[in-house]
Amino acid sequence: MESLNQNIENHYLKEELYEDIVNRLIEQGIEINEVKRSDIAGADEFHVRGAAVSKELAESINLEGATVLDVGCGLGGPCRMLADEYNCQATGIDLSNEYIRTARELSKLVKLDSKTSFVQGDATSLPFGDNMFDVVWTQHVQMNIPDKEKLYSEISRVLKPGGHFLYYDILKKEDGEVNYPMPWASTSVMSFLFKETDMDALLTQFGLTKEQSNNQTQAGIDFFNALVAKLKESGPPKMGLNVLMGETTKPKLMNLLNHLKTGELELKSGVYKK
């Protein structure tokens, strides 16, 4: 497991990520002491549809003033949004040391470090006590985790009774082969896709009840089609997912788009209650 975790961390690793983001802000003429969340939103939300879908997910329940854990938080964009717009105390955990370092620095940059905190750690062994959070949420994370049982049992454990689990995920729909690279995996060795029915069975097993499920696949396809058109017209953005994926951005996103179009993969979001 340790070598798998190291391979996954290496897959996402980009040295001096925070410094790169700062340099890109400077190149755009943005004063560093006046950076807003919107200035970095193109890079700090590493999932299909970015900041827009995080806001949509946040609107699915009453989040005002909640304690929230973002499992697989990446650069912390959703945590900052929740802290800023919903007065949440938001905690993020991620396997990547560089993502966590960058998340902390970005929160300082936009003056939200008092309402956000970030921890480097493993989603299958969360370093938190039982019944600690009003809400746990995760976006595009489980694909890298082979032990789904541990992942969802840990999510249930740290969630307060009556609390909510929110998810936005890429799931298998059919049983055909998946072409790589993908945004979450260069090869199949670090990819562990499963189906919505399997996820539901595990969450039910761990005492959570489904309240809603939404098919986000077409919205994801529309997002990618618009993104491809924009890239053709004006090239890579100064602050986009290319900051994280570099020259591999296009093949990864095109593979994902193709599988969403063929129906091999699907995008789903939803809410469970403990």
| Helix axes 77-86 and 97-109, enclosed angle (nearest 10) | 30
Residues of the chain with pLDDT under 70: 1-2, 9, 11-13, 240-246
Which amino acid belongs to residue 174? E
pLDDT of residue 233: 80
- Give the separation between CA 12 and CA 245, rounded to whole angstroms: 8
pLDDT of residue 159: 98
Cβ neighbourhood burial of 249 (10 Å; 0-12, 13-18, 19+) = middle
CA 33 to chain centre: 27
Q: Which two tokens stand for residue 138?
A: 């995760």
Start-to-end Cα distance in the chain: 29
pLDDT of residue 171: 98
Q: Which two tokens stand for residue 229?
A: 């058109």
- Encode pLDDT of 173-230 as tens digits: 999 899 999 999 989 999 999 999 999 999 999 999 999 999 999 999 999 898 888 8
DSSP 161-223: EEEEEEEEEEEE-S-S---S-BTTBSSGGG----BHHHHHHHHHHTT-EEEEEEE-HHHHHHH
pTM: 0.94
pLDDT of residue 245: 66
The length of the chain is 274
